[in-house]
């Protein structure tokens, strides 16, 4: 999880604690391996996620008005390619581990 979020492993616990305290996530331990913890968004967490997504889309859209249609299409193509690469590689390439 630390690698995907580009933060140190020691930071993950405090981030998860804050999210749980705010009621945005729930934790559930794996019955077979108590070291494994599953995190699930709560309904409130899903609301916050949707709100953040809409805000980000609005912010990006406000800047995209300064580009012509071809530039916007090119940006979207490159952004989708980047997202795919990050998903496939877990964001590990070019990132030093903070541990």
pLDDT per residue as tens digits for the range 25-82: 999 999 999 889 999 999 999 999 999 999 999 998 899 999 999 999 999 999 899 9
Residue 94 pLDDT more than 70? no
d(CA 69, CA 95): 33
Question: Could you tell me if 17 and 24 are in contact, meaning their C-beta atoms sit under 8 angstroms apart?
Answer: no
H or E element at residue 62: helix 43-64
More confident of the two residues 96 and 56: 56
d(CA 92, CA 3): 7
The label of the residue with tokens 């800047």 reads 63
Using a cut of 0.75, tell me whether the model's pTM lies above it. no
């Amino acid at each position: 999880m630390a690698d995907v979020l580009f933060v140190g492993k020691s930071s993950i616990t405090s981030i998860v604690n804050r999210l749980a305290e705010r009621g945005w996530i729930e934790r559930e331990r794996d019955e077979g391996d108590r070291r494994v913890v599953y995190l699930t968004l709560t309904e409130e967490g899903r609301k916050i996620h949707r709100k953040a997504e809409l805000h980000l889309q609005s912010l990006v859209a406000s800047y995209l008005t300064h580009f012509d249609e071809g530039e916007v299409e090119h940006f979207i193509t490159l952004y989708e390619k980047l997202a795919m690469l990050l998903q496939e590689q877990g964001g590990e390439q070019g990132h030093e581990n903070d541990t």
